[in-house]
């Protein structure tokens, strides 16, 4: 057993989407050398852990989440020597690198799959779910990106893909395959990696027999969650994975674990859980996808209280059994402000309020690249500007349901994952300093790069970036660090509408902090259940308190208080 397995709990984590962080070689795509060049920016921000979205060799059908060689770096991003250099340079700065571990599926261009296609009797054919099934797919499961989860290969066989058809699912029932995956995981950990963010891991167990289900849509298909998400028996695979790999290293593992019920959190992230920690998505998408983006609700239309209560429930359940993560953004979502706040109210001050809301919750905070600058959605004008496979599918779905291209692009603008994948704006020069002038970046630059960029915000003490730095300093500092790391979470003022308010109490040191964040577009005055000792941080200038327990907040204002 490794000593101090909780080393990661006092760190601030940062997610990099490598394709869009920094283009060092001027080919329009971000790369590993670019990340190494910018490590001092991350250190200055106070980051201790960096999660890299996939940089393995990949045809890039799903942004690298389709891997054709697990033990190589894609030439788009550089070489293995660049990766080794990044690890060395990050270590020097006290930053641990997490890679993305994508082992529910690989790419259809992986040699295993190519061999499996060429020879139905090969060992590799048993690494996947191939089923003989004439003209119709073996069952009616719908893939996560739309359409059937099965693809025919021309010889009567069909293969299962829960995501795109270029992402065939690996068959975890096969022990030979499992051992190959474990060996690959150890290969990376032996390089001194800090650990992994583990992709789509809740899908590795499928219901035996792969039965059809009752259709839930006009297409006659059924979402595959009931048959292939946290399916009973998955624990055997996850325990074996942990024992054969993670347990042997001082690493942290962060599972992408959507849909784990609170009653099962202990199995996942309890003392002897499969992972160190996980992402809980229960309050990430209050607008609810339903049948597609065009059926989602806009901020102000969905139920604020239900969203807030899910956040509270997640905090309360997790603190009983372990240490979670907290996040508002990642590469799979539009920018948080777009998810949670009506467009007419967007401003840098609102970005600060959103930041305060989640950053002081209990759990390891993740910042997604550009979030610390207060980036907004990218305002795409046409589907031709989109690269993301899931956006293209949602766009098609909207058209098929009768929306015009103009109506459909409005939804793309609101929900596309590419909103958060545009190049990182470093300064106000051409291409925001991401790629050299004259080079066309792989995805278009954000239209606001001349004002919303790292350089401008570094020089402005009122910027969103300066606010994030202050939050990191508070969260990791001597004065409040312990309370914010370990303190118990408790919701307060639950009867107030459009309000997120909670305390963090350190029983050991007898001190309490409170976050009060107003999501109302009107000013308001609140009676608190305690007296305020000190205003630690406010998202905007705060009106003087009229009494020790009476707080007046401007629209969308939030505060961090020390209270009695």
Is there binding between residue 23 and ligand GLC (CB under 6 A)? no
Among 108, 332, 418, 470, binds ligand GLC (CB under 6 A): 332
- Using DSSP's 3-state secondary structure scheme, residue 124 falls into helix
The nearest distance, CB 283 to ligand GLC, in angstroms, is 17
Residue 73, strand partner residues: 56
Q: Which two structure tokens, joined as six digits, stand for 362?
A: 């209990």
151 vs 457, which CB is nearer to ligand GLC?
A: 151
Residue 200 binding ligand GLC, by CB under 6 A = yes
- Residue 62: CB atoms within 10 Å: 21
Of 278, 280, 267, residue with least CA distance to 237? 267
Q: Whole-number minimum distance, CB 219 to ligand GLC, in Å? A: 21
CB nearer ligand GLC, residue 62 or residue 124 = 62
Backbone angles phi, psi at 445, to 5 degrees: -75, 150
227 vs 480, which CB is nearer to ligand GLC? 227
Taking residues 222 to 261 in sequence order and writing x for each that binds ligand GLC by CB under 6 A, - otherwise, the string is: ----------------------------------x-----
Whole-angstrom distance, CA of residue 406 vs CA of residue 410: 7
Cβ 269 vs Cβ 362: under 8 Å: no
446-453 contact pairs (CB < 8 A, 24+): 446/375, 446/376, 446/378, 446/422, 447/378, 447/379, 448/375, 448/376, 449/425, 452/373, 452/374, 452/375, 452/376, 452/425, 453/373, 453/425, 453/426, 453/427, 453/428
Handedness of CA 479, 468, 512, 549 (dihedral sign): positive
Residue 49 CB coordination number (10 Å)? 24
Minimum CB separation of residue 143 from ligand GLC in Å reads: 10
Q: What is the DSSP string of 372-392?
A: GGT-------SGGG---HHHH
Catalytic residue among 62, 82, 100, 256: 256
CB closer to ligand GLC, 129 vs 360: 129
| Helix locations, 214-279, DSSP H | 225-228, 234-244, 265-269
From the candidates 108, 199, 267, 457, give the one annotated as an active-site residue.
Answer: 199
Contacts of 477 (CB under 8 A, 6+ apart): none
Q: Are 126 and 171 in contact (CB under 8 A)?
A: yes
List of E strands, 430-531: 488-491, 499-506, 511-518, 524-527
Cβ at position 333, least distance to ligand GLC in Å: 10
Which of 12, 101, 102, 257 is close enough to bind ligand GLC by CB under 6 A?
102
363 near 314, Cβ under 8 Å?
A: no
3-class SS at 558? strand
| Member of 61, 169, 199, 457 binding ligand GLC (CB under 6 A) | 199
The least CB distance from residue 256 to ligand GLC, in Å, is 6
Binding of ligand GLC by 103 (CB under 6 A): no
> 516: closest CA among 526, 531, 506?
526
CB of 203 to ligand GLC, least distance (A): 9
Contact letters for ligand GLC, residues 289-318 (x by CB under 6 A):
------------------------------
Q: Are strands 524-527 and 550-553 parallel, antiparallel or unpaired?
A: antiparallel
- Total number of residues shown for the chain: 564
Residues binding ligand GLC: number (CB under 6 A) = 9
Q: Identify which of residues 65 and 426 has a Cβ nearer to ligand GLC in the complex.
A: 65
**49 interacts with ligand GLC by CB under 6 A:** no
Q: Is-catalytic flag, 256?
A: yes
Q: Which residues pair with 561 in a beta bridge?
A: 514, 535
Site membership for ligand GLC, residue 470 (CB under 6 A): no
Residue number with the smallest Cβ distance to ligand GLC: 65
Closer of 184 and 492 to ligand GLC (Cβ): 184
Residue 62 is a binding residue for ligand GLC (CB under 6 A): yes
Smallest distance from the beta carbon of 332 to ligand GLC, in angstroms? 5
- Using CA atoms, how far apart are residues 273 and 198, in angstroms rounded to an integer? 14
Residue with smaller CB distance to ligand GLC, 65 or 360: 65
Question: 84 vs 88, 91, 183, CA distance in Å?
Answer: 6, 11, 19
In the bound complex, what is the minimum distance in angstroms from residue 61's beta carbon to ligand GLC?
A: 10
Q: How far apart are CA 107 and CA 124, in angstroms?
A: 13
61 contacts ligand GLC (rule: CB under 6 A): no
Nearer of residues 308 and 335 to ligand GLC, judged by Cβ: 335
Least Å distance, CB 327 to ligand GLC, is: 12
Under the criterion CB under 6 A, does residue 163 sit at the interface with ligand GLC? yes
By C-beta, is 277 or 512 nearer to ligand GLC? Answer: 277
Our finding on whether 65 is near ligand GLC (CB under 6 A) is yes
Does 372 qualify as catalytic in the annotation?
A: no
CA nearest 114: which of 153, 57, 86? 153
Tell me the closest approach of the beta carbon of residue 486 to ligand GLC, in angstroms: 29
Nearer to ligand GLC, 199 or 470 (CB): 199
Positions that interact with ligand GLC (CB under 6 A): 62, 65, 102, 163, 199-200, 256, 331-332
Show which residues are catalytic.
199, 256
């Amino acid at each position: 057993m490794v000593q101090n397995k909780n080393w990661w709990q006092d760190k601030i984590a940062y997610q990099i989407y490598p394709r869009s962080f920094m283009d060092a070689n001027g080919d329009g795509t971000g790369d590993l050398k670019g990340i190494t060049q910018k490590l001092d920016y991350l250190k200055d921000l106070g980051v201790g852990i960096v999660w890299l979205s996939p940089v393995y060799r990949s045809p890039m059908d799903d942004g690298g989440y389709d891997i054709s060689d697990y033990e190589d770096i894609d030439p788009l991003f550089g070489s293995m020597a660049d990766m080794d250099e990044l690890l060395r340079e990050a270590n020097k700065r006290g930053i641990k690198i997490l890679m993305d571990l994508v082992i529910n599926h690989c790419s259809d261009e992986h040699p295993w799959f190519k061999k499996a296609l060429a020879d139905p009797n090969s060992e590799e054919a048993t690494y996947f779910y191939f089923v003989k099934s004439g003209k119709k797919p073996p069952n009616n499961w719908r893939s996560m990106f739309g359409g059937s989860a099965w693809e025919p290969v021309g010889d009567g066989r069909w293969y299962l893909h829960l995501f795109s058809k270029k992402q065939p699912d690996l068959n975890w029932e096969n022990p030979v395959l499992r051992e190959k995956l474990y060996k690959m995981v150890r290969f990376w950990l032996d390089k001194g990696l800090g650990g992994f963010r583990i992709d789509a891991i809740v899908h590795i167990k499928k219901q035996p027999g792969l039965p059809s289900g009752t259709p839930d849509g006009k297409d006659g298909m059924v979402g595959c969650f009931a048959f292939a998400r946290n399916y009973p028996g998955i624990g055997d695979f996850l325990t074996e994975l942990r024992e054969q790999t993670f347990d042997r290293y001082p690493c942290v593992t962060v599972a992408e674990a959507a849909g784990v019920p609170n009653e099962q959190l202990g199995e996942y992230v309890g003392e002897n859980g499969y992972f160190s920690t996980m992402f809980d998505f229960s309050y990430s998408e209050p607008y609810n996808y339903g049948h597609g983006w065009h059926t989602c609700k806009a901020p102000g239309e969905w139920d604020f209280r239900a969203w807030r209560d899910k956040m509270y429930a997640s905090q309360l359940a997790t603190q009983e059994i372990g240490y979670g993560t907290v996040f508002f953004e990642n590469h799979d979502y539009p920018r948080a402000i777009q998810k949670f706040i009506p467009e007419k109210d967007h401003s840098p001050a609102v970005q600060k309020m959103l930041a305060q809301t989640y950053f002081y919750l209990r759990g390891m905070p993740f910042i997604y690249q550009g979030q610390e600058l207060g980036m907004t959605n990218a305002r795409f004008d046409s589907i031709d500007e989109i690269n993301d496979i899931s956006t293209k599918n949602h766009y098609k779905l909207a058209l098929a349901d009768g929306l015009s291209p103009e109506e459909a692009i409005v939804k793309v603008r609101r929900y596309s994952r590419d909103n958060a994948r545009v190049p990182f704006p470093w300064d106000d020069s051409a291409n925001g300093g991401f790629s050299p002038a004259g080079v066309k970046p792989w995805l278009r630059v954000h239209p606001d790069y001349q004002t919303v960029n790292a350089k401008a915000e570094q020089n402005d003490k009122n910027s969103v970036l300066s606010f994030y730095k202050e939050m990191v300093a508070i969260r990791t500092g001597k004065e409040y660090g312990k309370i914010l790391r370990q303190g118990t979470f408790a919701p307060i003022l639950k009867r107030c509408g459009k309000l997120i308010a909670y305390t963090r109490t350190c029983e050991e040191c007898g001190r309490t902090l409170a976050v009060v964040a107003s999501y109302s577009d009107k000013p308001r005055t609140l009676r608190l259940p305690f007296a305020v000792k000190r205003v630690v941080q406010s998202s905007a200038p705060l009106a003087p308190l009229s009494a020790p327990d009476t707080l007046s907040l401007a629209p969308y204002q939030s505060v961090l208080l020390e209270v009695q």
